[in-house]
A and B are shown apart, each in its own frame.
With several copies, the nearest count.
Chain A
Amino acid sequence: MTRIVYADNAATTSTAPSVVKAMLPYFTELYGNPSSLYTVGQEAREGVDHARQQVADAIGALSSEIFFTSGGSEADNWAIKGIAHALAAKGKKHLITSAFEHHAVLHSMEALQKEGFEVTLLPVYENGLVKPQDVADAIRPDTALVSIMYANNEIGTIQPIPEIGAICREKGVLFHTDAVQAIGMVDIDVKAQNIDLLSLSGHKFHGPKGIGALYCRRGLRFPNLIDGGAQELNRRAGTENVPGIVGLGAAIQEATADIPGRTARIQAMRDRLIDGVLQIPRSRLNGDRQHRLAGNANFCFEGIEGESLLLMLDAKGIAASSGSACTSGSLDPSHVLLAIGLPHEIAHGSLRISLSDVNTEEDVDAILEALPPIVERLRAMSPLWER
């Protein structure tokens, strides 16, 4: 069997064994409903409370400001649709976001557009960064919300969130950030950075899939996305996913315990990878080299289409991606690469390699060994190459 090199940690990560271990008792022993009075319910409640504190600590929030959701997409939908609907009543029907947000944000915005909201899509420029000044210029008296992602999921660029937060606070406009890719990679402090709402998702930092959270600044009130029972302070109904919540708590604590140490190790591997890959002629790195997530490398190779590249890498035991995971299977080129100004044929041909703690120098070696001959082979087949 070929050794598997999993290099798609931006799509999802393996659940850490320590996280699985923390979760296990909650399936078969501490399986009570946290809303129940009796002991087995209260034990589950303690697990949930503890995890809520872990999440709060990781981003500088209060535990009462953390609401568990089924993942990043739900958190994005809830924050954006909720704030929009709450402020529409006050005549604020304008929303600001960027052109290269995750589809959970963009499609929520589109759904609101259909309801009559107006959406401004800010440009992101060739370096993959939003300009704070553009945010300031776009804000109007009827602006309800600014939503700018903390770090992009395809090209890994880290946005100037503290600057944008300061602008929004000064102008009195609410600010949401999709921090799904940033947790454990960037120092996040929602208070210091003036963030009003923040989405996160467990499976991006070795926590379980299907669990996430919305941080929502104290006092902010907006309609629920999921109505029903009194869970999550009456704001998100549904019996709590206790093992998932406990796993999320354990994972976020591990991921944020030593961010500088964690990212230094990952970034060293990533930098060697970038330098090696850019030896391939007519290859390029997409997105700013400095302001980028420690584990992210996103390349284009002229004359090559992305899916073929991935399949050939898979045949060598290397798991990577082209565009984002949730749009593969679609024929569309990456909206992110189009947003930073790449032409269509190149936006079809990107390769994202995303590393995490679990990767090793051997993984980097394996990629650097496998990739050049595959690129060569595909180029030899390509009618676009050398013409």
Chain B
Amino acid sequence: MAYSEKVMDHFSNPRNVGEIVDADGVGEVGNPKCGDIMKMYIKVDGDVITDVKFKTFGCGAAIATSSMATELVKGKTIQEALQLTNKAVMEALDGLPPVKVHCSVLAEQAIKSAISDYYTRKGIDPTPIVGPIEDCEACHLH
């Protein structure tokens, strides 16, 4: 297993944990069968993500990637946030063990899912902007 120090830091002291009661967008990905669920809340001002919070049920990597992903999109524009890849999350965490890559995928999807919800609430079809949110591959192996 052996998580990097960065992962352990974000796991032990996760940033942005919690809910945003008056969120502009909420996304949830994963499912309890797989043992990982991430829920992301965003607050948007103009096209800037001014606040983001998460709640995660999952392993150390799931919590750490949630935390890192929220850090990476906070204060960014929606367009910038949509560029966030799971690879970027992993790199920011100094890597993840191979069996835990799917957790970073979940984190990327959770952000996208919250942005989707934001567009949907505004009456805009999110699909052309956000793209399809596919299930994590590992998830399908079960």
On A, residues with C-beta under 8 Å from B are: 37, 42, 45, 303-308, 311-312, 315, 328-333, 343-345, 348-349, 380-385
Among the 9-residue stretches B9-17, B74-82, B83-91, the one with 4 or more Cβ atoms under 8 Å from chain A is B9-17
Q: Are B142 and A303 neighbours in the complex by a CB distance under 8 Å? A: no
- Cα A306 to Cα B17 with chains together (Å): 19
When distances are taken between beta carbons in the complex, the residues of chain A under 8 Å from B51 are: none
- Cα A190 to Cα B125 with chains together (Å): 59
Min distance, Cβ B9 to any Cβ of chain A, angstroms: 11
Q: Are B17 and A380 neighbours in the complex by a CB distance under 8 Å? A: yes
- Cα A69 to Cα B62 with chains together (Å): 34
Q: Are B55 and A383 neighbours in the complex by a CB distance under 8 Å? A: yes
When distances are taken between beta carbons in the complex, the residues of chain B under 8 Å from A344 are: 32-35
When distances are taken between beta carbons in the complex, the residues of chain B under 8 Å from A349 are: 35
- The closest CB in chain B to the CB of A37 belongs to B1
- Cα A311 to Cα B64 with chains together (Å): 12
Cβ contact of A305, chosen from B35, B55, B97, B138, cutoff 8 A: B35
When distances are taken between beta carbons in the complex, the residues of chain A under 8 Å from B71 are: none
When distances are taken between beta carbons in the complex, the residues of chain B under 8 Å from A303 are: 57
Known: A37-B1, A308-B63, A311-B60. A384 touches B37 (CB 8 A): yes
When distances are taken between beta carbons in the complex, the residues of chain B under 8 Å from A348 are: 32, 35
Cβ-closest 9 pairs across A and B? A345-B32, A348-B35, A307-B59, A383-B39, A383-B55, A344-B33, A382-B57, A384-B57, A311-B60
Q: Are A328 and B57 neighbours in the complex by a CB distance under 8 Å? A: no
Q: Are A311 and B142 neighbours in the complex by a CB distance under 8 Å? A: no
- A-B contacts, 30 of them at CB < 8 A, read A37-B1, A45-B2, A304-B57, A305-B36, A305-B58, A307-B58, A308-B11, A308-B60, A308-B62, A311-B8, A311-B60, A315-B12, A328-B1, A329-B1, A329-B97, A330-B99, A331-B99, A331-B102, A331-B141, A333-B35, A343-B32, A344-B34, A345-B32, A345-B35, A382-B55, A382-B56, A382-B57, A383-B38, A383-B56, A384-B57
Q: Are A383 and B60 neighbours in the complex by a CB distance under 8 Å? A: no
- Cα A42 to Cα B14 with chains together (Å): 23
Q: Are B32 and A308 neighbours in the complex by a CB distance under 8 Å? A: no
- Cα A160 to Cα B30 with chains together (Å): 40
Min distance, Cβ B141 to any Cβ of chain A, angstroms: 8
Q: Are A305 and B28 neighbours in the complex by a CB distance under 8 Å? A: no
- Cα A382 to Cα B39 with chains together (Å): 9
Cβ contact of B35, chosen from A312, A331, A380, A385, cutoff 8 A: A331
| B1-33, CB < 8 A from A | 1-2, 8, 11-12, 14, 17, 28, 32-33
Cβ contact of A332, chosen from B60, B102, B142, cutoff 8 A: B142
When distances are taken between beta carbons in the complex, the residues of chain A under 8 Å from B8 are: 311
- Cα A330 to Cα B14 with chains together (Å): 24
Given contacts A42-B1, A305-B35, A349-B35, 16 further A-B contacts (CB under 8 A): A37-B1, A42-B2, A45-B2, A305-B57, A311-B60, A329-B97, A331-B34, A331-B102, A332-B142, A344-B35, A345-B32, A381-B17, A381-B55, A381-B57, A382-B55, A382-B56
